[in-house]
Chains A and B, each alone.
Chain A
Amino acid sequence: MESIEGEPGDFKVTLTSYPRYIDPIKCTGCGECAKRCPVTAINMYNLGLDDRKATYIEYPQAVPLAFAIDIDTCIGCGLCEMMCLAKAINYEDNEKKSTICVGAVILSPGSEGFDPSGMDVLGYGKFANVVTSEEFERILSASGPYRGHLMRTLDREAPKKIAWIQCVGSRDVNLCGNGYCSSVCCMYAVKEAMIAKEHSHDDLDCAIFNMDIRSFGKDYEKYYNRAKDEHGVRFIKSRVHTINEDSTTGDLVIRYTDESGQTNEETFSMVVLSVGLQIPESVTALARRLDIELNNYNFAVTDPFAPVNSSRPGIFVSGVFQGPKDIPGSVTEASAAACAAGTKLAEARGTDTKTIEIPAEIDVLETETRIGVFVCNCGINIAGVVDVPAVADYAATLPYVVFVDQNLFTCSQDTQDKMKEVIKENNLNRVVVASCTPRTHEPLFQETLQACGLNKYLFEMANIRDQDSWVHANDPEAATEKAKDLVRMAVARAGLLKPLKEKKISINRRALVIGGGVAGMNAALGLADQGFDVVIVEKEAQLGGLSRDLTVTIEGADIQRYLLELVDRVTGHEKIQVLTESLIVGFSGFKGNFTTEIMVGPGMYERKIDHGVVILATGANEYKPEEYLYGQDYRVVTQIELGKRLEVKGADDISKVVMIQCVGSRNEKNQNCSRVCCQSAVKNALHIKEFNPDAEIYILYRDMRMYGLLEDYYTEARQQGIIFSRFSQDNPPNVEATDEGIAVTFKDHILQRDISITADLLALSAGMVAEDTEELASILKLPRNEEGYFIEAHVKLRPVDLANEGVFLCGTAHSPKLISEAISQALAAASRATIFLSQSEITLSAVTARVDPDLCAACLVCVRACPYEVPRINEEGVSEIDVALCHGCGICAAECPAKAIELDWYEDDQVMSKVEALLEGVL
């Protein structure tokens, strides 16, 4: 991206496209070019640990899945051009400039791993068996240089002991200037250790050298505990001095200082440097060109209450460019940025959409079965191995086959046009394509069927490329026989296929947001600003939720002022209806068409609301401690109470304060970390120091989890003389009330002795507890974890969706989080809901389960087996499956003891016909 000119809503973006030398549109991804390429180059995808060709594809999952030529290593031999049947090679390709007009821009340029080459003491680059965590990821990967076998780089020996060194390139102002915490390294190190143990054939010893373990994400603490307690990963609180190599064995000796200040040495067969995230120079240059403000670490500057807005209006940011974060956080933020951008573009939605006209369907049930088989050469991808003409001839001999053809590329536009003609001319009513994988090409061929008036489910594919020519290249004869088998199987199933009707359901384009806190209100605005009606249900009399008790963010932003503005915007919005003092008592329907019954107001009158989606924003509260004299002595307060007190009374009257972390978190009752309490403590401590610089403040902690840019405040707190002392879970501080104050006794891990402080005030960093949603969850049938937080559909891939379609999640109902994170997630949920609401109707898959009521014994097996609780026993006393809710997995069909359930398109006969065709004549 060269430049962005213009105003929000009307940007002109200038782009430079670098030459690929292979046309990605023509390239079929067949890979012949790379196979023939004589030049070997270093494979940077595997971080230089193995080789690739000069003609290459970066990695198997790349999009587009098209090859390119690495012109720096290409010798111009011309072999690839000769090989390419798709004629995609263009040595004359050159740099192109283009301009596009857009209304908003989202910047997600990402980050790079810190390069530890400059840190001499760690020996990276000097000792072969010291690798970065990125390299180690590749080593563990099945697509990596060692194909997933755990080996060290020096001698390809299996390591017996591996050490991870944390905070390389993070939390370190002296050596690299990166004062922030990279937020992800603790978790990936734990993960790498666990996977390494899994991959190892011996009893691999894994040790993680760290200052703090920052497993602050949802359920991360449980993972950390499992690694520690069940899998024996060792966690060593330490600072590493130097790493030296034993030159005879290649082993590495780590010299480190432990918590008590003692220096120790331990030898490992391999060392992994957990490198931090860093903004690359190319990205800072881009930001400069675009006039985006960066902070001192080169992350984009954002406002705590507008976390995805860059300094330049109309340009939004997401991912690590916004600040260090993990994949769930990045994916969430990406959706948030999409919502923020979409708000401004809502008017334009759908204006460029083209609709395909589909002719009326031909009735095929009454006519004789006429199957057409199209065998694809896929250039030479298939034909180079499989004898395609022989397969085609064979196909012609199969029952019901009335037409056979072979094509160079079946997927090409001209072949598709030809196919349409052929289908019509020959009155084909079932079509088999023998080519590549249905995963990528089934929809294309199905469209062709539809264009001919055939139901799209009258189609079957035989994968004679991925499952045949590609994997049996060295045995063409056997591959040809296998292709015949696959075609015979496909034809057999095709003969039994029935047209299926895809149900279309209209969508009620209104959203219900449950919970009127900061997250709920932001989600509501995210949708309302895009033109959708929203109803917010809040059980309290006022909007605001937990944030009504909060004062300022750690950055100093005024939460109450923000809340006031937010409530004004919400209540003043013509698309938003707010129901306070309201309780959800009933819920029914399915994605796009829900009905919720609500008891509204003090009068408890009942209302029924129809809506298409649900956003859960039920929130969380501060834990009410039962520990440390809380509630028994007025001098013991929680951090939120302390925050309020500072707001009202300041801190002139307090000179000694002790804070205890992890109260109500990371214990047996609540295994998880509450994420926000470390920063609450530091925030309040710094405030006290502002009021009263002489105040003595002690923060007793287990791990300081000042992730991301919060680390700066931790550094500042230490510089201001705030004392941090670690305690272990089995030896917590002892608290006693005396007339002089609250006496707190704790063991100092450096001095190795007990210290007693008599404080004016004891602040407990009480964790978060999810709002009580037990009843709500049972009404809406939503899954929650042990701690009462709702469970998302997929931690990384669908972080704000629930498995129940049409239901989304944000804020602290998901897990504890900061206000800016809750806002981000709220926008993300709104964005995901928008995808749903922006359609007027949705087409449901026809692959759903169906009950034969005559056979059903009402045994409840399907009811109990369905992962989505879809089947129910109806008024007639038999099982009934709502196609709108069915996910099509077929579990019920397999489990049914009365064989009363069939999964359409995978009926038992259809599945077994393939088995029977395959094994025809064997017995």
Chain B
Amino acid sequence: MIVAEKKPVEEIIDYVKDFKKLLIAGCNECVTVCEAGGKKEVGILASALRMYFLNEGKKVEIDEVTLERQCDHEYLEEIRDRIDKYDAVLSLACGVGVQFMAEKYFSTPVFPGVNTCFLGAAEERGVWSERCQACGQCILGETAGICPISRCAKRLLNGPCGGSTKGKCEINKDLDCAWQLIIDRLKELNRLDDYEKIMPIKDWSTERAGGPRKVVREDVRL
């Protein structure tokens, strides 16, 4: 899923301090699951902002809503009838949701309430880590199911570098060396010989290098 982190309240205040009517919009998908932008966080942020504005002597109205998903038109439509009431929207969805909201409601300023971090997994409650950089050309089949692009600090396709120490990355000893993981798993799979195959220079055009990407599925379109 998409993993996001709450923005500091100070930063959010800076965005919205000059508005009079605000809508805080949560999203009931990824950001709820990673506890950054669900209904609960909407309530907390709304309360915090109400207090902030009152303390500043400003009269600001703040409403709360949590949409099922902010990356789908149909769900975003749910606030169509009242969007004009607001000077601005604070979206706690991921960057996708924030933009989709902004596209849809073109004349309403939309601000992000979270920092969208990465595509990751929940290792345990409160610990998420990156697993994928959406490069568009999956190589996991060659790397024993461990992605060096998202998990090696230098995204080396032919690692490890000389800094790998005791299974950890040179930049942070709490970080696993992705190539150590790959080698360990190759060994487990009895495929260590594959290590000596040189990975060719990667075609990054399917990653952001190729510009904004789009998936068009003719089979499911009408």
Contact residues, B1-44 vs A (CB, 8 A):
28-29, 32-33, 35, 38-41, 43
Task: Determine whether B143 belongs to the interface, using a CB cutoff of 8 Å to chain A.
Answer: no
Task: Determine whether A755 belongs to the interface, using a CB cutoff of 8 Å to chain B.
Answer: no
Contact at A898–B125, with CB atoms within 8 Å?
no
Task: Determine whether A777 belongs to the interface, using a CB cutoff of 8 Å to chain B.
Answer: no
Contact residues, A710-750 vs B (CB, 8 A):
none
Contacts of B32 in A (CB 8 A): 857, 859, 897-898
Contact at B40–A899, with CB atoms within 8 Å?
yes
Contact at B39–A861, with CB atoms within 8 Å?
no
In the complex, the chain A residue whose C-beta lies closest to that of B124 is A864
Contact at B40–A857, with CB atoms within 8 Å?
no
Which of A857, A859, A865, A897 lies at the interface centre, i.e. has the most chain B CB atoms within 10 A of its CB? Answer: A897
Contacts of B35 in A (CB 8 A): 859, 861, 897
Contact at B39–A855, with CB atoms within 8 Å?
yes
In the complex, the chain B residue whose C-beta lies closest to that of A856 is B28
Contacts of B29 in A (CB 8 A): 857
Contacts of B40 in A (CB 8 A): 896-899
Find B43's partner among A860, A865, A899 (CB 8 Å cutoff): A899
Q: How far is the CA of A865 from the CA of B35 in the complex (A)?
A: 13
Task: Determine whether B91 belongs to the interface, using a CB cutoff of 8 Å to chain A.
Answer: no
Contact at A897–B43, with CB atoms within 8 Å?
no
Contact A859:B43 (CB < 8 A) given known A865-B125, A898-B28: no
Contact at B125–A899, with CB atoms within 8 Å?
no
Contact at A857–B33, with CB atoms within 8 Å?
yes
Contacts of A855 in B (CB 8 A): 28, 39
- Min Cβ gap B37→A in Å is 8
Contacts of A899 in B (CB 8 A): 38-40, 43
- Min Cβ gap A885→B in Å is 20
Q: How far is the CA of A253 from the CA of B41 in the complex (A)?
A: 63
Contacts of A865 in B (CB 8 A): 125
In the complex, the chain B residue whose C-beta lies closest to that of A899 is B39
Q: How far is the CA of A899 from the CA of B42 in the complex (A)?
A: 10
- Min Cβ gap A860→B in Å is 8
Find A857's partner among B28, B54, B125 (CB 8 Å cutoff): B28
- Min Cβ gap B14→A in Å is 25
In the complex, the chain A residue whose C-beta lies closest to that of B37 is A897
Encode A884-923 as 1/0 by CB contact (under 8 A) with B: 0000000000001111100000000000000000000001
- Min Cβ gap B208→A in Å is 29
- Min Cβ gap A237→B in Å is 42
Q: How far is the CA of A860 from the CA of B32 in the complex (A)?
A: 11
Task: Determine whether B66 belongs to the interface, using a CB cutoff of 8 Å to chain A.
Answer: yes
Q: How far is the CA of A855 from the CA of B28 in the complex (A)?
A: 8
Contacts of A859 in B (CB 8 A): 32-33, 35, 38
Q: How far is the CA of A896 from the CA of B40 in the complex (A)?
A: 7
Contact at B33–A864, with CB atoms within 8 Å?
no
Q: How far is the CA of A900 from the CA of B41 in the complex (A)?
A: 13
Q: How far is the CA of A897 from the CA of B28 in the complex (A)?
A: 9
Q: How far is the CA of A920 from the CA of B38 in the complex (A)?
A: 29
Q: How far is the CA of A860 from the CA of B124 in the complex (A)?
A: 10
Encode A848-891 as 1/0 by CB contact (under 8 A) with B: 00000001011111001100000000000000000000000000
In the complex, the chain B residue whose C-beta lies closest to that of A863 is B125
- Min Cβ gap A873→B in Å is 12
- Min Cβ gap A41→B in Å is 55
Encode A570-608 as 1/0 by CB contact (under 8 A) with B: 000000000000000000000000000000000000000
Encode A497-528 as 1/0 by CB contact (under 8 A) with B: 00000000000000000000000000000000
Contacts of B41 in A (CB 8 A): 897
In the complex, the chain B residue whose C-beta lies closest to that of A897 is B38
- Min Cβ gap B93→A in Å is 13
Encode B111-130 as 1/0 by CB contact (under 8 A) with A: 00000000000101100000
- Min Cβ gap B50→A in Å is 11
- Min Cβ gap B30→A in Å is 9
In the complex, the chain A residue whose C-beta lies closest to that of B38 is A897
Given A857-B29, A897-B35, A899-B43, 10 more A-B residue pairs with CB atoms under 8 Å apart are A855-B39, A857-B32, A857-B38, A897-B40, A897-B41, A898-B39, A899-B39, A899-B40, A900-B39, A923-B54
24 chain-A/chain-B pairs, Cβ below 8 angstroms:
A855-B39, A857-B28, A857-B29, A857-B32, A857-B38, A858-B33, A859-B33, A859-B38, A860-B33, A860-B122, A861-B35, A861-B125, A864-B124, A896-B40, A897-B35, A897-B39, A897-B41, A898-B28, A898-B32, A899-B38, A899-B39, A899-B40, A900-B39, A923-B54
A-B pairs, top 10 by smallest CB distance, nearest first, are A897-B38, A859-B33, A899-B39, A857-B32, A864-B125, A897-B35, A897-B40, A898-B38, A897-B32, A857-B28
